[in-house]
Structure 1
Amino acid sequence: MFGISFENIGINLTVIPMFSNYLIISFRNFYKFRFYTLINVLGLTIGITACLVIFLYVRFELSYDKYHKNADSIMRVDWDLQMGEEQNYQASVTPPVAQTLVAEYPEVEAAARFRYLGSFQFKREIENFIERRVIYADNDIFRIFSIPFVSGNPETALIEPFSMVISESFAEQLFPNEDALGKTLIKDNKTLYQITGIFKDLPDNSHFHYKVFLSMEGLDESKNGNWIGGPFNTYVLLHPDADPIALEKKLPDLVENYILPYAQVVLGNAFMDDFQSSAANHLTLRLMPLTKIHLHSNLRNELEGNGDINYVYAFSIIAVIILLIACINFINLATARSSGRAREVGIRKVMGSTRTNLALQFIGESTILCIFSFFLALLLTQLVLPYFNSMTGMNLQIPMQDYSLLIFVAISALIVGIVSGIYPGIVLSSFQPVQVLKGKVTGNKQSFTRSSLVIFQFAISIFLIITTVAVHQQVQYMKSRKMGFNPEQVLMLKWAGNLGDNLTVLKNKMMEKDLITAATVSSYFPGPGYARSTPLIWKYGSTPNPETSATTEKWMVDHDYVTTMGIELVSGRNFSLDFPSDSSAVILNESAISKLALEGDPIGQKISLFQQDPDGTQQADKLETWEIIGIAKDFNFESLRQTVSPLGLFFGKSQNVLALRYNAEETQRVIEELEKNWKELAPGEPFVYSFLDQDFQNMFNTETRVGKLLTVFSALAIIIASLGLFALTAYTVEQRVKEIGIRKVMGASIQNIILLLTKDFGKLVLWAFLFAAPLAAIGIRWFLQSYAYKTTISLWIYIGAGLATFALALIIMGYQSITAASANPVKSLRSE
């Protein structure tokens, strides 16, 4: 009663022995041709490993901010101001925008703002901790974003002034083994803040990673009603049925009703009439979807540095290329070995095998190799990920608990195996028994296909070499380019303002040493992480207008700043204590001077700007007047992706950082002497320093990282292509061993035989170069277009890549050719 009939359940018993026979034949062939099997498995494993790593990288990059419950309904409001040739496109807007959007646009369910003001110090009792990941925020950030609380009430946590919400890791740092909720911290040795909430640390795939949120209610700037100043990163939560595109089309009404009238009061009727009359000028508010910020937004005032969708595209293409090269190796070797298996095909056809069965046999062999390679690749990926993470600063892992990934890998293995085996299966199964049993195998079509695939591999190798060298050359150009100032041998002592009046004492003490050649105190320096203020300036005595005004960075500096930074003056003089009038003096850079369009010599002329209150409000009826005493040569204080912006060095007091220029050989002595004096003058305060050149180089981290990754993956692609070429030339030589023996007997030299065997591959390299070079030029032009300052790619890079590829092919082919040409012809001809 428990008997089972296979026929009843639809299983044909003859199928099982057939598949068993296929497996036995497959493994016999793997062993018989073990050299080529090893090459295929090695190439596929390396290629699949590279693809898996890139897949994990791309998957992570595309996952940013999607963990938020309302991710699809969250938008950031951006500010797009075009004034003549000057564009100010930034990821922030002015303070009143958020509340106005909630009040007047029914599509907006909630709005919240962030305001970043740099690092802060926090302490419980005596010792200060410095934390840079601190930001002011409205309480509604917890309504908009999914930020899980460990303790506290997210609905009220930041409603009161001087309240703060901290991350679990920050709480453990300051309150180890204690409950931090309800406790207090002192910010910057002045203000007492109460901890009203603790949240789980934000995940890696978030476009911001703050550890401390301070209540926006305690920030006066957030309440000043200034419609044209104050960079507040503003996010809105839309109702589920709201259309973001339709809402964005309504935002010009907000600009028309609030921003432009306010600007008219501050800047004057003439300025706004000129602004609105020119088609080149515009002011627009835009909505950026939350899930697109990380890969599609690189604006000013971003909360953090973002990725780039172009890099995702580039590495995805490289992954496909690597996998294609590995598959091409398999196809080439399978078709090249066709004559070796021709008799097998002929005999099996005579014995009754159909062409379909034979094709399935070869596709099955390919699939078995691919599945085996995929499992090896999973193990290899697990081993290489720590090195990849170390190189990129990421924390990628294979999510073994994610069955969808494992299913994807399994399906990919099947697809790659089937695709790789289809062409060899069709070719091998098409042999005619009568012909192949007589030893005749036609191969012109196979030879053409094989040559085409080899050309493709060489072309990819040349393309990758050219583009990799170009990326590295651009990175080195950015690092070595003369910036217009001298960032080397400058030590930056952070939080120097903690010294108070002792700051001058410390500066003088260090200047007494023969270690220090110059010193300056300021809060404004080139590179990331320093304060920025951008008022509008214009010629004194005139009214501001868009054509002769400039939105200029305002840096407050002392009389030693220009000397310490090594800034070159093209005209005028430096600040000097000998001129009391320098208290209202300014040094402008060339970009600011050209924007102002001053008549005659700018030196001695004056500029005006609106006076700004501590909360950021500009006073339309109060002007500041500054006299131009010098013109600084333009220098890059931002990324080389951007042109040099107008900049003014204004004489004044701003003391957050002490910069010391020192002798290069005395680095360690400078640090030791500075630390000793710091501890004497500022006991209990953190001693934090950096080097200006390193701070500046940090701006190129993304390009440097991409360059390293491109080098690694390009090298892998070239290695895989070389493995295939090595095996293919080995087989070619093997097939021509009798010919080589006859030629040697007839008097051919080793050099003649080497030339004979290598000239055909040399032609393939030339064809590959002709295909690859134009494509590489297009790719390089696309890569460099995002940089305002770009290197020149020499023709020799293209020629060098072609020669390098030819040399690599020559080495591979030469080794096989020399081995064959040096062999004793008696051994190869004794059966004849």
Structure 2
Amino acid sequence: MLTNYIKIAWRNLRKQQGFAFINIFGLAIGLACCMLIMLYVLDELSFDRYNANADRIYRIQSDIKFGGNDMHFATTPDPLGPTLKKDYPQVEQFVRLHQRGTWLVKKTGETTNLREGDVVFADSTVFDVFTLPFVAGDAKRALTQPNTVVISKSAAKRHFGNQNALGQTLVFANTENYRVTGIMRDMPRNAHFRTDFFVTMLSDKYPWGQWLSNNHHTYIRLKAGRSGAPADPAVFSQNFGAVIEKYVGPQLLQMVGTTMEQFRKSNNQMNFWLIPLTDIHLRSKQQIELAPNGDIQYVYIFSAVALFILIIACINFMNLATARSSNRAKEVGVRKVMGSERQQLVGQFMTESILTTVLAMALAIGIVAVALPGFNSIAAKEISLLQLVSPSLLPIIIILPIVVGLLAGSYPAFFLSSFQPISVLKGRINMSFRTVSLRSGLVVFQFMMSVVLIIGTIIVYRQLTYIQTTSVGFNRDHVLTVNDLYAVGKQAETFKQEVLRLPGVVSGSLSGYLPTPSDRNDNVFFPEGQTNMNKGVSMQNWGVDYDYVKTLGIQLVAGRNFSQQFGSDSSGILLNEVAVKILGFKDPIGKRIWGFNDAEGKTRKTYTVVGVVKNFHYESLRRNIGALALVLSANAGAASFRVISTNLPVLMQQIEAKWKALAPGQPFSFKFMDDSFDEMYRAEQRIGTIALTFAGLAILIACLGLFGLAAFIAEQRTKEIGVRKVLGASVPSLIGLLSRDFLKLVLIAIVIASPIAWYAMNNWLKDFAYKIDIEWWMFALAGLLAVGIALLTVSFQSVKAALMNPVKSLRSE
């Protein structure tokens, strides 16, 4: 029986090739979208699960409210990890990571460096906490000695080729020698941070023991309970209050003479809390992450999009199948007269449906194979097609076409098999109001989801345009940043002056701090004579040179810039408007403030306010502008140049030549500041592109469904149209008659979709401190697009029906 069903189903598909192609293609697009999103979602959910003890590893986060700032850090004080291990038996192990960032690295005896990113200082316990298998060396002893480093297999290949890297020496920053004591496998791509270099924490030149500084990422592994289940992190977190009282309080009292009780009474707070390792990538929104994170919100959104696109594709199948009902009606009538029972007819139609979805699945896999490289590029992923046959996905891939076939084919099967043989053989097919209403409701649902996606895409792109075009308070255009300035040693100023002599270079500055993703430095400042915590201001403290303000186009609103004409500017300070407001200065120029001159808080330095700069965004527009102080400093990690040139490639070659003359063998690394600024919103740009793509595909699939319903209506009203034409109806009036019903459905979809889209996108915009307003025209534009697309879709069937010869449509009467 099943073989017979399949044969008949195959014959019907071959007999109606155009209809079969539309059905298979629509389902294939829906299934391909579903599989791509499924691969994306599963990849996002897989982060850090490669660790053997992932369910017992937690990172400690810091929430601090002080000095007008509400700070949420992914970092903690450096003593926290060792202290927890010493004081609390629930802590089985800890590890601290201190991000070094970019470092110039070369093999001993080489003259040319390679620029290595994301170098990390780590405790020797890093390989005990994280599952990072070694290919050479002893993981337990690899980082227990000073000046040792563990590198990845890829890094070993880059620096040593086919030689054995174990025991070899690498030179960092041209001055520091590190012995390779271990080679690990490359870190998995689905880790919340990745590095090729773990440098021993014993060589980190850091002022240890600072309970009031937050510079280390601290992870702990809790012991399993008696039953083998992980320890309860909520119960363990109750210990942090005692840790703060016992260790943070005394250092706070020593530095500013304030107890923790007074600190809290001044409306300040300090809290630590645990986040599971497997939640970091999607659920952590802290500052100072080791690498950019994802967002669980996008996982939910894309999962819903995948489901809705699949539902839209199934709806199409139903509408297209019922649109062809009159062509199958006589077949059903003859089969029933010949003795076929209804369950046999249902089986036949369900077999056709499942065969269609199986063919669609095969086509969908082909579409995924072709689209995956582009999708990986857009989504910044490394997903392989082989993941479709992984143990977690293969059962879904096998079951999905069967389930979709049953769901999509159920309504047409029961609908077609319900025809009465006498009626259909006489050419009378009655369509109940319930049947028509169901199909109309399905079309409304399709276009409702399409309109939601259109509105969402418009708002995402408007927000991205706002970010890229809004004034950030400084001029980031035409600013070239040259990195790794330490490679030229003491000749940084010489390099700056040499570049300034080139035609097209307007100004230049040396600084370690830029209003783009880069290092940050916090400090606490008090008005002169004050130590009361209520008067303290936590602000960014950036060391700059005399030309920093000029080069970046930062505006002064009061006072003056640093000047070499004033020797006293070595103790001068520039504040932004936020800092002035928090300090309560009505006339800030000449006011004196003091701050700690070292991390230990043993020495202090007093500064005189010489100028006030206009507020500018030095972080993402997701955050409000915080307090900022600029002070003169000779320390510089990067050189910034404002360039205006009609022949930029030649100018870049000239700057590179100056670099190589002062730093032979050192890589010339540069980036334009507007590109660095855009990197902060790369995730939103990717999401916007993905949303636009899937919105377009959802509309395409919905249009196929509308095309099917248009065909169905035109088929049902053939004789009515013939009568109207005989009575004098014009072609335009008939097209309007047939299109009017569809426009009603689309308008209903727009009305339903608008509040849903507003609610969803309003929640998305809450992540931004600076954002656009959701305006009425966005909904109007989405509605016009939906109406225009619907009209284009149904116009073909409407024109075809209106132009039909009435003699042909009425000859059976």
Q: TM-score of the superposition, structure 1-length normalised?
A: 0.94
Q: How far did residue 357 of structure 1 move?
A: 2.6
In structure 2, what is the equivalent of residue 191 of structure 1? 176
Shift in CA distance, 111/64, structure 1 to aligned 2, threshold 3 Å = same
Q: How far apart in 2 are the matches of 1:171 and 1:807?
A: 58
Distance 1:22 1:92 in 2: 64
Q: Counterparts of 1:490-505 in structure 2 under 5 Å?
A: 490-505=479-494
* Number of the residue aligned with 2:213: 229
Query: Which is worse superposed, 340-349 or 299-308?
Result: 340-349
Contact 1:75 1:236 in 2 (8 A): yes
Which region of structure 1 is more displaced relative to structure 2, 393-402 or 486-495?
A: 393-402
Q: 1:15 maps to which residue?
A: none
Would you say 1:348 and 2:335 are equivalent positions? yes
SS in 2 for 1:119: strand
Look up the equivalent residue of 1:160 and give its one-letter code: Q
Deviation track 1:635-659 (CA, whole Å, cap 9, x = no partner) reads 1111111111111111121222111
Paired residue for 2:578?
591
Partners of 1:461 and 1:501 in 2: how far apart? 60
Residue 158 (1) aligns with residue 135 (2): no
**Offset from partner CA, 1:2-33 (integer Å, 9 cap, x none):** xxxxxxxxxxxxxxxx3233223323332343
Q: Which residue of 2 aligns with 1:7?
A: none
The CA deviation string for residues 338-388 of structure 1, in whole angstroms up to 9 with x for no partner, is 333233333333333333332222222211111111122112211110111
Partner of 2:614: 633
List per-residue Cα deviations over 1:370-410 (Å, max 9, x = no partner).
11111221122111101111222211112255244222111
Alpha-carbon distance, 1:441 to partner: 2.4
Tell whether 2:588 aligns with 1:602. yes
Task: Choose the corresponding residue for 2:545, options 539, 542, 558.
Answer: 558
Aligned-partner SS, 1:535: strand
Over aligned residues, Cα RMSD in angstroms? 1.7
2:404 alignment partner, one of 405, 416, 437: 416
User: In structure 2, what is the equivalent of residue 5 of structure 1?
Assistant: none
Question: Do structure 1's residue 203 and structure 2's residue 188 form an aligned pair?
Answer: yes
Q: Check the 8 A contact 1:548/1:596 in 2, yes or no.
A: yes
Q: Structure 1, residues 480-506: CA drift from partner, whole Å, max 9, x if none?
A: 111000011011111223223432222
Corresponding position of 2:527: 539
Q: Which residue of 2 aligns with 1:331?
A: 318
| 1:337 maps to amino acid | R
Q: Which residue of 313, 318, 321 maps to 2:308?
A: 321
Out of 671-680 and 431-440, give the one that drifted further. Answer: 431-440
Secondary structure of 1:65's aligned partner: coil
Question: Contact 1:298/1:305 (CA < 8 Å) preserved in 2?
Answer: no
Render the CA deviation track for 1:191-217: whole Å, top value 9, x for unaligned.
111110010100110111111011001
- Kindly state the Cα deviation for residue 736 of structure 1 after the two structures are TM-superposed: 2.9
Of 63, 75, 78, the match for 1:92: 75
Q: What is the match of residue 29 of structure 2?
A: 46
Unaligned runs of 5+ in 1: 1-17
Maintained 8 Å contact 1:533/1:553: yes
1:332-411 map, 5 Å: 332-398=319-385, 399=387, 401-411=389-399
Q: In structure 1, what residue type is equivalent to 2:262?
A: D
Amino acid at match of 1:48: L
- Counterpart for residue 8 of structure 2: 25
* Contact 1:371 1:410 (8 Å CA) reproduced: no
Give 3-state SS (helix, strand or coil) of 1:711's partner.
helix
Query: Taking structure 1 as reference, are residues 356 and 830 closer, same or farther at Cα in structure 2, changes over 3 Å only?
Result: closer
The unaligned stretches of length 5 or more in structure 2 are: 226-230
Pair 1:642 & 2:626 matched: no
Query: What pairs up with 1:78-477 in 2 under 5 angstroms?
Result: 78-83=61-66, 86-124=69-107, 125=109, 126-221=111-206, 224-241=208-225, 242-269=231-258, 272-278=260-266, 280-398=267-385, 399=387, 401-443=389-431, 444-477=433-466
Deviates more, 1:32-41 or 1:372-381: 32-41
Specify the SS of the correspondent of 2:575: strand
Alignment correspondent of 1:667: 648
1:657 counterpart residue number: 638
Q: Cα offset for 1:42?
A: 0.5
1:85 shift after superposition: 5.4
Q: Show the counterpart of 1:3.
A: none
1:265: how far off?
1.6
Quote the offset at 1:704 in angstroms. Answer: 0.3
Matched-pair contact (CA < 8 Å) for 2:100–2:118: no
User: Are the counterparts in 1 of residues 507 and 551 from structure 2 also a CA contact under 8 Å?
Assistant: yes
The answer to whether the 8 A contact 2:212-2:248 is kept is: yes
1:477 shift after superposition: 0.9
Residue 324 of structure 1 aligns to which amino acid in structure 2?
A: I
> How many angstroms apart in 2 are the aligned matches of 1:85 and 1:569?
23
Task: Indicate the residue corresponding to 2:228 in structure 1.
Answer: none
User: Is the aligned partner of 1:692 residue 2:680?
Assistant: no
**What amino acid sits opposite 2:217 in the alignment?**
N
Distance in 2, Cα, partners of 1:401 & 1:51 = 15
**Aligned partners of 2:68 and 2:537 also within 8 Å:** no
Alpha-carbon displacement from aligned partner over 1:706-730 (angstroms, at most 9, x marks no partner): 0000011111111111122123323
| Aligned structure 1 segments of 4 or more residues deviating by more than 6 angstroms | none
In 2, the alpha carbon distance for the partners of 1:64 and 1:410 equals 25
Alignment partners' CA distance in 2, 1:700 and 1:582: 37
SS of 1:315 mapped into structure 2:
helix
For residues 271-318 of structure 1, the C-alpha deviation after alignment (integer angstroms, 9 at most, x for no partner) is 74432225x432111011101111001211211111000001110000
**What one-letter code is carried by the residue in structure 2 that aligns with 1:181?**
L
Pairwise CA distance, 1:831: 4.4
SS for the counterpart of 2:238 is helix
User: 148-157 or 497-506, which moves further after superposition?
Assistant: 497-506
Distance (Å, rounded) in 2 between the aligned partners of 1:27 and 1:652 = 79
- Equivalent residue letter for 1:327: C
**Partner SS, residue 225 of structure 1:** coil
Equivalent position SS for 1:202:
coil
Aligned to 1:56: 39
For the residue of structure 2 that corresponds to 1:487, the secondary structure is coil
Q: Using the alignment, how far apart are the partners of 1:503 and 1:232 within structure 2?
A: 29
For residue 74 of structure 1, what is the aligned residue in structure 2?
57
SS of 2:522's equivalent? coil
Given that 1:539 and 1:606 are in contact with CA atoms closer than 8 Å, whether structure 2 keeps it comes out as: yes
SS in 2 for 1:221: coil
CA distance in 1, matches of 2:486, 2:89: 46
Fraction of identical pairs, as percent = 40
Are positions 1:781 and 2:781 aligned together?
Answer: no
1:137-179 per-residue CA deviation (whole Å, 9 max, x = no partner) reads 0010100110010101100100101111111111111101101
SS at match of 1:132: strand
Identify which range, 324-333 or 339-348, moves more after superposition.
339-348
The CA distance in 1 between the partners of 2:339 and 2:254, in whole Å, is 94
Match of 2:791 among 790, 810, 818: 810
C-alpha distance in 1, partners of 2:5/2:486?
Answer: 79
The answer as to whether partners of 1:39 and 1:724 remain within 8 angstroms in 2 is no
Query: Aligned partners of 1:548 and 1:435: how far apart in 2?
Result: 89
Task: Mark the CA change 1:150 to 1:84 in structure 2 (over 3 Å): closer, same or farther.
Answer: same
Distance 1:157 1:733 in 2: 77
The C-alpha deviation readout for 1:47-80, integer Å capped at 9, x for no partner, is 1001101000111110001011111111111111
Deviations 1:412-448 (A, max 9, x none): 1111111112222222223333433333322122111
Letter of the 1:26 counterpart? A
When normalised by structure 2's length, the TM-score is: 0.96
The range that moved more, 259-268 or 767-776, is 259-268
